[in-house]
Amino acid sequence: MREANVDLRILVTGATGFVGSAVLARAALDPTLQLRGAVRRAVTLADGVEPVAIGDLAPVTNWAQAVSGIDAIVHTAARIHQTRDSAADPLAEYRRINVASTVNLARQAVEAGVRRFVFLSSIKVNGERTLPGRSFTADDVPAPIDPYGISKLEAEHALRELSQEFGMEMVIVRPVLIYGPGVKANFLSMMRWIDRGIPLPLGAIPNQRSFVALENLVDLVMTCLHHPAAANQTFLVGDGEDLSTTELLRRTAASMGRRSRLIPVPASALRTVARLLGRGDFAQRLCDSLQVDISKTRELLGWAPPVTVHDALKRTALRFTEQRIR
């Protein structure tokens, strides 16, 4: 790790992932931080970041080299949500990676004297949808539905127990859908549809959904690494501006310099057709509301999203255009 007047020595897991790489890029701008990134195999990371190859994430992974001398950990590595899971027993596989492997890391962190553990969880711990005027809060009773959400909740419980037993400070962050430069999965598919000018039957979806720009999430993670009030707390994170699916498509298209070709099909008709095609879950994500209340995050940490939805969409669209040209 680089030599400096160090205030904090940080390990980021999932160092080459969408969130992990962004956390390291932001942290690398601060000369008072020493940075280490956990990766599967030896790679070059951002300037000033020491890579440590730990192999595959597993319940028996040896983290000794990675956690040695570390003050705080940002744990982003996980088995991410799979829309169409190929595992024979998805819940067992999520538990193996997201619960047992996380606990294994946390126990070794305790032994190494790590003081704070920031865990990237998921809003799926709260549930899949919200009713009109009823946003999720950090203190709601959890109600996960799918194996991914269940595994994240079980990991949260295990980490809290470790914290109570050994005193290592835990900070749990539950993001909503994350977008930003380099985004993949459904958000990338949406931009590709827009870019190709494909007409979409999504012009009359009256829902409201919370999203979080990658830059906003990273800013909160950095705050959680050092803020005294963050210790042993759970935070929800979003952009502070909710959008309908229709408005998201329109604003993303505008950011890309494209025309949004949206056909105003009623949400009820979309749900019916999707169920007939065996894609009811997909229609749910498009049509249901999912809003988060970030007032606890704002008030306890004095934090506010530093990047607007407008600017975040522009930066996301710019990266998409650059990659398309290549």
| CATH number assigned to the domain comprising residue 215 | 3.40.50.720
Q: What is the distance between the alpha carbons of residues 236 and 24, in angstroms, rounded to a whole number?
A: 21
Termini Cα distance of the chain: 34
pLDDT, tens digit (0-9, with 9 covering 90-100), for 149-176: 999 999 999 999 999 999 999 999 999 9
Using CA atoms, how far residue 93 sits from 98, 151, 242, in Å, is 8, 9, 33
Which DSSP state fits 140? S
Instruction: Give the per-residue pLDDT at 172.
Output: 98
Give a yes or no: residue 83 inside a domain.
yes
* Residue 326 confidence (pLDDT) above 80: no
The active-site residue out of 94, 117, 119, 148 is 148
Structure tokens at 145: 């539905």
Give a yes or no: residue 275 inside a domain.
no
Give a yes or no: residue 111 inside a domain.
yes
Structure tokens at 292: 């988060």
For residue 300, the enclosing domain spans 8-182+211-240+291-307
pLDDT, tens digit (0-9, with 9 covering 90-100), for 216-273: 999 999 999 999 999 999 999 999 999 999 999 999 999 999 999 999 999 999 999 8
Give a yes or no: residue 281 inside a domain.
no
> Burial letters for 105-128: b for 16+ Cβ neighbours within 10 Å, e otherwise?
bbebbbebebebbbbbbbbbbbbb
Give a yes or no: residue 233 inside a domain.
yes
* Residue 325 confidence (pLDDT) above 70: no
pTM of the model: 0.94
Q: What is the distance between the alpha carbons of residues 270 and 39, in angstroms, rounded to a whole number?
A: 42
Please answer whether residues 12 and 74 qualify as being in contact, where contact means their C-beta atoms are separated by less than 8 angstroms: yes
Give a yes or no: residue 195 inside a domain.
no
Give a yes or no: residue 206 inside a domain.
no
Q: Which residues pair with 262 in a beta bridge?
A: 200
Q: What is the distance between the alpha carbons of residues 50 and 38, in angstroms, rounded to a whole number?
A: 9
Residue closest to 73 by CA, chosen among 118, 129, 19: 118
pLDDT, tens digit (0-9, with 9 covering 90-100), for 32-87: 999 999 999 989 898 889 999 999 999 999 999 999 999 999 999 999 866 666 77
Q: What is the distance between the alpha carbons of residues 284 and 6, in angstroms, rounded to a whole number?
A: 47
Mean pLDDT of all residues belonging to the chain: 94
* Residue 138 confidence (pLDDT) above 90: yes
Give a yes or no: residue 265 inside a domain.
no
Q: Where are the alpha helices (DSSP H) in 54-195?
A: 64-67, 90-94, 101-112, 147-166, 185-195
Number of domain units in the chain: 1
Question: Is 148 a catalytic site residue?
Answer: yes
